C-alpha cells in the first residue's frame, strides 16, 4: 500500500491527523477519543460525524487494532524521517565529494605541471653546464694542439736557420768542429702539454651539484595550501602569501582556516629550535608567528596565546604583539623583515627586526600540542619567507 493511501486511512475525519487513542462507534467509524468527545460536548449529541447515526454508547470502546496500526505507522514514519535526513546528509556529502574530487584532480594536475617545470629548470641548468664544460675541454684541446704545432714550427725554423748558417761558414771552420757544437737531441714536449683531465673530471658531479645552489633555494618553512583561507593566494613555490585577486571555490576541509585569512606552515614542531625570516614588505595588515595544531579554524578569533597563537601583527599603522586579548605596541617604526625563533623546549617564541637585529617581543608559552608556523595577510602585497644561505661541506 502506498504511504499516502495508508496515511489517508489512518487520518481522523475531525483533526485530519493520524488517530490518537482511536475509538470506534457502533456504526463502525473511528475517531480520536479527544476529538469525538469535544464534538459531542459541543453538539450535545452522540451522532457520528461521518454517517450521522446516533451512537449507542456514551463511552465508545477503543479500536485496538487501529491504535496499534497508528502506533506502528508513527514509528515507521519517524524512522523514515531519520532515513530521509540521513539521505539528504549523504547527498550533501556526495555533492561535496564531487567538488572535493574535482579539487583533488586540479591539485594533482597543477602539482604535476609544477614538478615538470621545476625539473625542466634543473635539466636546462645541467644541459647548459654540460655544454659549458665540454666547450672548456675543447678550448683547452685547441690551445694545447695550437701550442704544440707552434713549438714544432719554432724548432723547425731554428734548425733550418742553423743549416743555412752552417752552409755559410763551412769555409771558415772545419765541418766536424761545427757539427759537434750543435744540439742533436730530439725535441721533448714541455710540462703541461697534456690535457688537464683532473680539472675537467675531478669531483665533477659534486662541483655541479654545488653550483646548483644558485637555482635551488632552500626555504626553512613552506606553506600548506590545504590550510589556507580561500581568499588567499599561495605562490607556486609555497613561499609567499597574499590576498587573491580571484575567487576560487575551495573545499572547506577540516584543515582549512576559513574563519580568518590565515595559513599554516606544512611542518609542525614539537621539539628542537627553529627559525625563519619573513619579509612583510609593503603589507600594512599582517600577522606572523606560530599556532598550535588544535587552534579553532572555522571561526574568527584573535591571535593570542589564550587562543593558541603567539604572534605579532601590523594594523592601523602599528606593530603590536597579541597578549591576552590586548595589543602591546612593540615597534614605533615600520618593520620590513621579521625573524621568528621557536624554542620548543623552553616554550619561547622570539621576534626580532631582521634588519636591525633588535628584539621586538618574546612570548613564553608552554606548548602542549604540535606547533606550526602561522601567517596572516590581508593585503595584495605578499608576505615572503626568505630562503636560507646554504653551504656544502665535506667530511672525512
Q: State the DSSP string of 80-106.
A: HHHHHHHHHHHHHHHHHHHHHHHHHHH
Overall fold of domain 3-62: Herpes Virus-1 (3.30.40)
**Residue 251: which of 110, 100, 106, 111 has the closest Cα?**
100
Q: How far is CA 346 from CA 232, 277, 301, 343, in A?
A: 33, 20, 26, 6
List pLDDT tens digits, range 243-277: 998 877 888 899 999 999 999 999 999 999 999 99
Mean pLDDT of 175-196: 64
List pLDDT tens digits, range 293-325: 999 999 999 898 999 999 999 988 888 888 766
pLDDT of residue 56: 76
The chain-wide mean pLDDT, for the chain, equals 87
Contact 272, 371 (CB under 8 A): no
Contact 162, 181 (CB under 8 A): no
Q: What is the 3-state secondary structure (H, E, C) of 287-300?
A: EEEEEECCCCCCCC
Q: Grid coordinates standing for 227?
A: 590550510
- Give the Cα separation of 207 and 102 in Å (integer): 44
**Residue 324: which of 284, 373, 363 has the closest Cα?**
363
Q: How far is CA 143 from CA 138, 190, 340, in A?
A: 9, 14, 54
Question: In sequence order, what E strands does the chain have?
Answer: 22-24, 30-32, 232-234, 240-243, 262-264, 273-279, 286-292, 309-315, 318-323, 326-331, 337-343, 348-353, 359-364, 371-377, 383-385
Residue 129 DSSP code? H
Residue 4, pLDDT > 80, answer no
Residue 175, pLDDT > 80, answer no
Percent of the chain with pLDDT over 90: 46
List pLDDT tens digits, range 365-385: 888 889 999 999 999 999 999
User: Which string of b and e fits 37-48 if b means at least 16 CB within 10 Å?
Assistant: eebbeeeeebeb
**Residue 149: which of 182, 185, 187 has the closest Cα?**
187
Query: Any idea which of 153-167, 207-221, 267-281, 294-308 has the lowest mean pLDDT?
Result: 153-167
Return the CATH architecture of domain 225-385: Sandwich (2.60)
Percent of the chain with pLDDT over 70: 90
Contact 232, 243 (CB under 8 A): yes
Residue 101, pLDDT > 90, answer no
pLDDT of residue 134: 94
Q: Grid coordinates standing for 135?
A: 666547450
pLDDT of residue 311: 94
Amino acid at each position: 500500500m502506498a504511504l499516502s493511501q495508508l496515511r489517508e486511512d489512518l487520518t481522523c475525519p475531525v483533526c485530519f491527523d493520524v488517530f490518537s487513542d482511536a475509538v470506534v462507534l457502533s456504526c463502525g467509524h473511528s475517531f480520536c477519543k479527544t476529538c469525538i468527545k469535544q464534538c459531542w460536548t459541543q453538539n450535545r449529541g452522540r451522532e457520528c460525524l461521518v454517517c450521522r447515526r446516533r451512537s449507542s454508547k456514551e463511552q465508545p470502546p477503543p479500536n485496538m487494532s487501529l491504535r496499534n496500526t497508528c502506533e506502528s505507522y508513527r514509528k515507521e514514519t519517524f524512522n523514515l524521517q531519520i532515513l530521509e535526513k540521513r539521505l539528504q546528509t549523504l547527498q550533501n556529502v556526495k555533492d561535496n565529494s564531487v567538488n572535493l574530487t574535482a579539487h583533488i584532480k586540479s591539485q594533482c594536475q597543477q602539482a604535476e605541471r609544477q614538478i615538470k617545470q621545476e625539473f625542466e629548470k634543473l635539466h636546462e641548468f645541467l644541459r647548459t653546464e654540460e655544454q659549458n664544460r665540454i666547450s672548456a675541454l675543447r678550448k683547452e684541446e685547441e690551445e694545447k694542439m695550437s701550442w704544440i704545432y707552434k713549438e714544432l714550427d719554432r724548432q723547425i725554423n731554428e734548425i733550418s736557420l742553423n743549416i743555412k748558417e752552417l752552409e755559410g761558414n763551412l769555409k771558415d771552420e772545419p765541418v766536424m768542429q761545427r757539427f759537434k757544437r750543435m744540439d742533436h737531441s730530439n725535441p721533448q714536449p714541455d710540462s703541461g702539454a697534456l690535457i688537464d683531465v683532473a680539472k675537467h673530471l675531478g669531483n665533477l658531479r659534486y662541483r655541479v651539484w654545488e653550483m646548483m645552489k644558485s637555482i635551488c633555494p632552500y626555504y626553512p618553512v613552506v606553506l600548506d595550501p590545504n590550510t589556507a583561507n580561500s581568499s588567499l593566494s599561495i605562490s607556486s613555490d609555497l613561499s609567499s602569501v597574499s590576498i587573491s585577486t580571484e575567487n576560487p571555490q575551495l573545499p572547506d576541509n577540516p584543515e582549512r582556516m576559513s574563519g580568518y585569512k590565515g595559513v599554516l606552515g606544512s611542518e609542525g614542531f614539537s621539539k628542537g629550535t627553529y627559525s625563519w625570516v619573513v619579509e612583510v614588505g609593503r603589507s600594512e595588515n599582517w600577522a606572523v608567528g606560530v599556532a598550535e595544531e588544535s587552534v579553532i579554524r572555522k571561526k574568527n578569533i584573535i591571535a593570542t596565546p589564550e587562543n593558541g597563537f603567539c604572534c605579532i601583527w601590523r594594523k592601523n599603522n602599528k606593530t603590536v604583539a597579541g597578549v591576552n586579548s590586548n595589543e602591546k605596541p612593540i615597534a614605533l617604526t615600520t618593520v620590513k623583515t621579521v625573524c621568528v625563533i621557536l624554542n620548543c623546549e623552553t616554550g619561547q617564541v622570539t621576534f626580532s627586526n631582521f634588519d636591525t637585529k633588535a628584539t621586538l617581543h618574546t612570548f613564553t608559552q608552554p606548548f602542549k600540542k604540535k606547533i606550526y608556523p602561522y601567517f596572516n595577510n590581508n593585503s595584495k602585497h605578499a608576505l615572503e619567507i626568505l630562503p636560507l644561505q646554504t653551504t656544502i661541506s665535506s667530511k672525512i
